[in-house]
Amino acid sequence: MSFDNPHCDGTRLPMMTVYDFPKGPYPARVRIALAEKKLQSRVRFELVDLRKGEHKSPNFIATKNYSGTLPVLELSDGTLIAECTAIIEYLDNLDGAPILTGTTALEKGLIHMMNKRAEIEFLDAISVYFHHATPGLGPDVEIYQNAEWGLRQRDKAIRGMHYFDRVLRQQPFVAGEAFSMADIAVIGGMIFAEIVKISVPWDCEALQAWYARMQERPSVQNRMAT
């Protein structure tokens, strides 16, 4: 299997396709990363309607993503990359000058640690709440629901907000001194919290101040532009 080998000057970056749903919190992560890396002109977006369950269709699962989730990145040679962290890792290193995933061993370790915590303790917990304790994407998609488990995950997400609030009282960004994909993951969690109407606790002042700053970034403001 061949892979694209772009020059560092960006003149031969590959054309790519992103399968996503613009309003989704997980697609938002990749869209923000694309904007931070100024790669929007190298991407075409293909709508996969979550509300109609198109991401769970047999054809999508067979041809695009076995996991039946969004987003999915397709390279010019047909290579498919799913999972936000993997996609962002690829995009960030295309030009040989990563800005979102770290350059030193320590930076990479801290960023990946905090990115994973953002997923487990916050973003994914809200996803479970949405799919189990709310109508979610409707009966055609939500085949099985466990409301009690969903509510437990909502409470976990709120605990996650308190955790990231403590982190952001000590440093300006989620993984340290610079914006990274860990910040993007928490932004995804905040977007999802807004969608499902989970309020940020009043005493999470650092988290709220950080999010206000993040919303000023053009990559966050324009994430649904195609």
In this predicted model, what pLDDT tens digit does every residue of 44-71 receive, in sequence order? 999 999 999 999 999 999 999 999 999 9
- In angstroms, how far is CA 129 from the centroid of its own chain? 17
Q: Is the pLDDT of residue 79 over 80?
A: yes
Mean pLDDT of 166-184: 98
**Residue 7 binned pLDDT confidence (cut-offs 50, 70, 90):** very low
Look up residue 19 and give its DSSP letter: E
- How far is Cα 184 from Cα 213, in angstroms, rounded to an integer? 13
Mean pLDDT of 18-30: 97
- How far is Cα 77 from Cα 83, in angstroms, rounded to an integer? 19
End-to-end CA distance of the chain: 29
Q: Are 29 and 216 in contact (CB under 8 A)?
A: no
Domain ranges of the chain: 16-93, 105-217
Ranges assigned E (strand) in the chain: 16-20, 43-47, 72-74, 80-82
Q: Is the pLDDT of residue 2 over 60?
A: no
**Residue 8 binned pLDDT confidence (cut-offs 50, 70, 90):** very low
Which option is the CATH number for 105-217: 3.90.580.10, 1.20.1050.10, 2.60.120.430, 1.10.10.410?
1.20.1050.10
DSSP labels for 110-153? HHHHHHHHHIIIIIHHHHHHHHHHS-TT-TTT-----HHHHHHH
| pLDDT at residue number 225 | 78
Are domains 16-93 and 105-217 of this chain identical in fold?
Answer: no
- In angstroms, how far is CA 168 from the centroid of its own chain? 19
Q: SS3 helix, strand, coil % of the chain, rounded to 5?
A: 55, 10, 40
- In angstroms, how far is CA 48 from the centroid of its own chain? 16
Locate 101 and state its tokens: 């995933």
Which of 217, 188, 197 shows the shortest CA–CA distance to 70? 188
Mean pLDDT of 8-29: 83
Mean pLDDT of 124-134: 98
Q: Is the pLDDT of residue 130 over 70?
A: yes
Q: Is the pLDDT of residue 224 over 90?
A: no
Which residues on neighbouring strands pair with residue 45, listed in sequence order? 18
- How far is Cα 122 from Cα 26, in angstroms, rounded to an integer? 12
pTM: 0.93
- Per CATH, is 16-93 categorized as 3.40.50.1370? no
